[in-house]
Amino acid sequence: MSITKKILLNESDLPDMYYNIQADMPNPTLPPLHPGTKQPIGPEDLAALFPMELIKQEVSQERYIGIPEEVRNVYKLYRPTPMFRASNLEKVLDTPAKIYYKYEGVSPTGSHKPNTAIAQAYYNKMEGVKALITETGAGQWGSALSFACQQFDLGCEVYMVKISYDQKPYRKIMMNTFGAQVYSSPSDRTNSGRKILAEDPNSPGSLGIAISEAVEMAATTEGTNYALGSVLNHVLMHQTVIGQEAIKQLEMTGDFPDIIIAPFGGGSNFAGIAFPFLRYNLKEGKNIRCIAVEPASCPKLTKGEFRYDFGDAVGLTPLIPMYTLGHTFVPAPIHAGGLRYHGAGAIISQLLKDKIIEAVALQQIECFEAGVKFARAEGIIPAPEANHGIAQVIREAIKAKEEGVKKTILFNLCGHGYFDMSAYEDYFAGKLVDHELTDEQLYSELRKLQTPEAA
């Protein structure tokens, strides 16, 4: 039987609104707290880092927020993105499950990250900012922001986690091509970087450390703002263009998802695909399982604690109510650099606490096995982060076969892995290791936390 492989939308189908799940959550998120006073923060506390429009979006309870025409015009370079039926993978797995994936790797820099980078660059430009400063883990976010800043004629400075900086030299060149300056983090350019280097001159870096450097630089440099690629409410909201398109695409097939799966770093690609569908659960009584997949070496959702914690390693950001392993937790240097983050966004954390979403933690070797199986069947080499989602898809597809049930599974292929060949090289050379964390390794940083409980 012939099946439709690609499910494509027209440019006119590009969403014109972002979906804000805050309007539909049964329990609102707890307020972020000032890092010094521990009191709820107001807009003025964030004004040194973000433009007012993004601060408003961060706390907005409006269900839909319009996407500016200038932002939609840049989205048109790659959106709407294609959805594919992973029919070859279904055959390899011999599963009765139908597997669909939304492919965000077609963006100019190869992942979902431009969806928010473009919006953030635009709102900053509108408020007279001259340059943006950020961190990057896998290099995907830094590339996306470099590209977006170039589109709106803004400068861009990126602190790249040392291990990725060393593993992925061509990501740096890509950022340079889009006009950005890139520094290995921890660096000696900031107090935060110098503090970490004094404690551990060989620190592999972490997203938390790089965030500290970028925040410090942005707060102390005239005319610059900070931009974050995940975790914050407005960032997650910008990504909902993915799920809104996916709803239209699945409607074209006549299918509806039983399970939605995405890898999880700080929550943005998961939110992007899952939130618009979760509205059916929250408002129309549907029961789609939405599963976030994190690495076993950084299991904040499955083994972390729900409490207030800092978004960065040094304690410069507001305190956010989140599932965390402690902001000083430095994950093992696995190849999925974008998933090496100690915490999770406030919205995701609240949804998990309320059992509206699920989470699992997987080891990296299983994830690479899954990524290679997918590449051989479907012809796209996924980003190591995306491999985490694919491994869980394969688990669910095999389970459907064992139980003899027909399931429709949708996952977010959030990025390609064409700059991640050294990771695949290590995998084929048998150099990847799984990380079973002892309780001591998992909880030692959490025990040190003196941040407020999140009641």
Which positions lie near ligand PLP, rule CB under 6 A? 111, 137-138, 140-141, 230, 263-270, 338-339, 383, 385-386, 414-415
Burial 132-161 (b: 16+ CB within 10 A, else e): bbbbbbbbbbbbbbbbbbbbbebbbbbbbb
Residue with smaller CB distance to ligand PLP, 257 or 265: 265
Residue with smaller CB distance to ligand PLP, 313 or 400: 313
- Closest approach, Cβ 37 to ligand PLP, in A, equals 29
Residue bearing tokens 């590009």: 14
What are the respective helix, strand and coil percentages of the chain, to the nearest 5? 45, 20, 40
Strand, helix or coil for residue 374? helix
- Closest approach, Cβ 357 to ligand PLP, in A, equals 13
- Closest approach, Cβ 231 to ligand PLP, in A, equals 7
Residue with smaller CB distance to ligand PLP, 361 or 400: 361
- Closest approach, Cβ 448 to ligand PLP, in A, equals 25
CA distance 49 to 47: 5
CB-based contacts of 354, cutoff 8 Å, min separation 6: 25, 26, 27
Compute the CA torsion angle 280, 281, 285, 288 (nearest 10 deg): 100
- Closest approach, Cβ 386 to ligand PLP, in A, equals 6
Residue with smaller CB distance to ligand PLP, 117 or 138: 138
Strands of 67-137, DSSP E: 83-85, 98-103, 131-136
CA distance 258 to 14: 24
User: How long is the chain?
Assistant: 455
- Closest approach, Cβ 270 to ligand PLP, in A, equals 6
Residue with smaller CB distance to ligand PLP, 95 or 141: 141
Give me the amino acid identity at 447. R
Residue with smaller CB distance to ligand PLP, 75 or 103: 103
- Closest approach, Cβ 268 to ligand PLP, in A, equals 3
The residue with its CB nearest to ligand PLP is: 338
φ and ψ at residue 199, rounded to 5 degrees: -75, -40
Residue with smaller CB distance to ligand PLP, 98 or 172: 172
Compute the CA torsion angle 134, 139, 143, 146 (nearest 10 deg): 20
Give the closest residue to 320 by CA, choosing from 27, 18, 30, 32. 32
Residue with smaller CB distance to ligand PLP, 390 or 400: 390
- Closest approach, Cβ 136 to ligand PLP, in A, equals 7
Q: Are 19 and 81 in contact (CB under 8 A)?
A: no
Residue with smaller CB distance to ligand PLP, 95 or 115: 115
- Closest approach, Cβ 450 to ligand PLP, in A, equals 27
